[in-house]
Amino acid sequence: MAALPVVISLHGGGGNAEGQQQHTRMDELADREGFIVVYPDGTGRLKNRLLTWNAGTCCGYAMTEHVDDVNFIAAMLDDLAQRVSIDTRRVYATGMSNGAMMAYRLAAELPDRIAAIAPVAGGMVLADDAPKRPVPIMHIHSVDDPRALYAGGLGPPFPMTNSRVMHPAVEQTLATWSRVNGCKGEPLVTQKREGEGASRGQTATLLVYQGCKAELEHWRLTGAGHVWPGGKRDTMVRILGPETQVIDANVGMWRFFSRFRHMPR
C-alpha cells in the first residue's frame, strides 16, 4: 500500500473530535483524494466536553494546566505511523478557532513534521518567541466573524462560561508570517468570489503574498460568521453567525496542501 498523506484537523475551543469531523465533512474529500484525516481530542475537566488546545495564550483548561499539546501531536503521529503507512513528508494541519491557533503553534514549534497549515477563524497566540522557520500557510477568516475578531480584541464569552479570549488581529498574524516566510511587498488579489450568500454580502477574496520562501495565502471572507466555509450548514447560528458556501475550505486547503512536502535539509 502506498504511503498516504495526513491532515490533522483540530476542533475549536469547547468542541471535540467528533464535532469537528461532523462539522467540516472532510472525510468525503479524503476518500476521493486519497489522504488520511486525523481528528484528535483536546483536554478538559470533563470527558469529551469543553475540550481545548494549549495554543499559547489560549485556551481554557489546556492552557491553564500547561498541557503539552505539541508533544501530544508528535506522539500521535508516531503512533499513527505504527498503524498505517503514512507519507511523513506530507503531514498537514488545519483547525477551527482554538484549533486554528494550535495549527499555528505546530507550524512554529514542529516545522520538521508539519509541511503546511491552513488555519480557519483563529490567529496565532504564541506565548513565547515568534516562529523562526518558513512554513506554507493558507489562512481562512471572515471579517464579520463575531467571535474570533478579525481586527483583534477581546472576544465574547464562551457559551455557558465567563471565559473570554484576546484575539490577535488577522493582519498581525499574517504580517509575522510574511516576515518569517520572506515575502516581499503587499499581497495581490488573485481571486474574488460571490456564492449563494452574495445577497447577504458574502464574498471571498484570495490574497497571495509575493516573493515568499514559503507560500502565504489568505482567503478573506465577508458576510460569514465563525464557521467552516463549505461545512455543515446552519450550526448554532445565533452564536456563530451565518454559514457560508462561498468557498469550500476543504477543497481549497487540499489544493494548497498537495503542492508541499518536506524535502531533505
Report residue 12: phi and psi, to 5°. -80, 170
Whether residue 31 is contained in a domain is answered as yes
Cell matching residue 195: 456564492
Cell matching residue 151: 481586527
Whether residue 265 is contained in a domain is answered as no
Task: Provide the whole-model pTM.
Answer: 0.95
Whether residue 148 is contained in a domain is answered as yes
Each of the 265 residues of the chain gets a pLDDT tens digit; together they read 789 999 999 999 999 999 999 999 999 999 999 999 999 999 998 777 789 999 999 999 999 999 999 999 999 999 999 999 999 999 999 999 999 999 999 999 999 999 999 999 999 999 887 798 999 999 999 999 999 999 999 988 876 677 788 999 999 999 999 999 999 989 999 999 887 655 577 999 999 999 999 999 999 999 999 999 999 876 777 788 999 999 999 999 999 999 999 865 5
Whether residue 262 is contained in a domain is answered as no
Whether residue 251 is contained in a domain is answered as yes
Determine the Cα–Cα distance for residues 197 and 120; give it in Å rounded to an integer. 19
Q: DSSP letters of 56-119?
A: SS--HHHHHTT--HHHHHHHHHHHHHHHS-EEEEEEEEEEETHHHHHHHHHHHH-TTT--EEEE
Cell matching residue 155: 472576544
Cell matching residue 249: 475550505
Domain count for the chain = 1
CATH number at residue 145: 3.40.50.1820
Whether residue 161 is contained in a domain is answered as yes
Residue span of the structural domain in which 155 resides: 4-257
Determine the Cα–Cα distance for residues 116 and 18; give it in Å rounded to an integer. 23
Q: Measuring CA to CA, which residue among 128, 147, 129, 150 is closest to residue 139? A: 150
Whether residue 119 is contained in a domain is answered as yes
